[in-house]
Amino acid sequence: MKYVNQPKTEKGQETLDKIILEAERLFSEKGYYKTSIKDITKAAEVGIGTFYIYFEDKHSLYQAILSEYGHFIRKTIAESVRTAETRLEAERMGIETFIRLVRKRPSMYNVIWQALYVDKKLFVDYYTKFSENYIKQILIAQEKGEIIADYDPEALSYMLMGITNFIGLRYAIFDDQTDLDPILDEVMDMLVNGIYTHNERME
């Protein structure tokens, strides 16, 4: 995280983690603009001076949180799909991992989507980085003949992110009790068979 001065001690790391945790909660509950640095330090039970050891201002703390989300989600998904033998298997594992992450940490959606008006560039960068990562995987799968080669990888990456994010919205944010297996089965069926009955195959 380039937006944060990394602590040098374990105690420092604990303090930083607490600041980030409380900021995440407050940004999610009250929104970025309505949350002051004072609100954050008060909730984290540290002095204002401590805040400035790690962050230049509220905006850099927000950037740090978004950057951490991005790394955390990509890393967790990459680890979860390591054993996948096909792109199809990897896709399912990746989507499942993402939805389970959101179930554990639903505030991520609130905090990320706020970027759209807090700092549009940050929001664009956030999804562009995800897309770039996805494009790499799609290109490999197209090279291997697993994904249809005609598809533009970028457009496809946004379709896949859209499916994952809205399935996450419904089955992690709106309601997190539904059994995920039948939902994931349906997502994969759709990615394998499309949605229509009488269709002409492309190849």
- Which residues here bind a copy of itself, judged by CB under 8 A? 28-34, 87-88, 109-110, 113-114, 116-118, 124, 127-128, 131, 145-152, 154-156, 158-159, 161-167, 169-170, 173-174, 182-183, 186-187, 189-203
Quick one: 53 or 129, whose CB is closer to a copy of itself?
129
Distance in Å, CB of 10 to a copy of itself, minimum? 33
Distance in Å, CB of 52 to a copy of itself, minimum? 23
How far is 174 from 191, CA to CA, in rounded Å? 23
Burial 10-43 (b: 16+ CB within 10 A, else e): eeeeebbebbbebbbbbbbeeebeebebeebbeb
Quick one: 48 or 155, whose CB is closer to a copy of itself?
155
Distance in Å, CB of 49 to a copy of itself, minimum? 26
Quick one: 49 or 145, whose CB is closer to a copy of itself?
145
Contacts for 148 with CB less than 8 Å, ≥ 6 apart: 142, 202, 203
